[in-house]
Amino acid sequence: MFTERSLNKLKAMNEINKFPVKDLPNRYSVGRTALYARFTAANITPEKDGTRSYISGEELEELDRLDSHIKTGGKLEDFKPTLQQNNEMILTSALDKTDNFTEALQLVEAIARHFQQQRDPLQHYAALERAIASGWLLSSSEVRSLIGTKPHGERFQRGSFVFIRSGKIGIQAAWRVVKVVEGGSYKV
């Protein structure tokens, strides 16, 4: 029913619909404290992705509506948020209709099967070996997704792999991966 291609398309659409919170103070000419007060008034909770926070397009429209309310003399306390009401109505409507619930359940099961099929317990070792062979630098978040923990310090050893800090990739540390061979020496 759901192919990997359709799941990837849904994921890409979700990525396009994300707006960084760091850009919003300029958009509304307010400070961070005032911005977060507006989030509260509009029932918005930003989504975290690493060190960055994002809101959806629907939440951005709600903030625009709140900004218009304030610019026309309204107060935060007087604002009537629509997001929570809409989400509750959609959820209630979906649960009331057995077909929608069944379709949602099928989607969740398909996604779960997709991830179970891809889970190979040794897959992260192959990825680390490929990084060593290619001389790739990995970001902290990439290392975390491969080994399950964020590296720290200048050198970090996990099993047979040593991660050596080698500069930066964007705002994250960059890590060169080497393998420990017999005798404790490194294979680069």
pLDDT tens figures, 27-43: 999 999 999 999 999 98
- Cα–Cα distance, 156 to 146 (Å, whole number): 14
Nearest to 44 by CA among 71, 64, 69: 64
Q: Could you count the other beta carbons within 10 Å of the beta carbon of residue 29?
A: 8
H helices within 17-56, ranges in order?
24-28, 32-41
Domain limits, the chain: 4-118, 123-187
CB-CB contact of 161 with 145 (8 Å) = no
Residue 74 above 50 pLDDT? yes
- Cα–Cα distance, 67 to 46 (Å, whole number): 17
pTM of the model: 0.41
Residue carrying structure tokens 């050596």 = 164
Work out the pLDDT band at 57, boundaries 50, 70, 90: confident
Work out the pLDDT band at 89, boundaries 50, 70, 90: very low
Instruction: State which fold the 4-118 domain adopts.
Output: Multidrug-efflux Transporter Regulator; Chain: A; Domain 2 (1.10.1660)
Work out the pLDDT band at 115, boundaries 50, 70, 90: low
Residue 114 above 50 pLDDT? yes
In terms of phi and psi (left: phi > 0; alpha: psi -120 to 50; beta: otherwise), the region of 159 is left
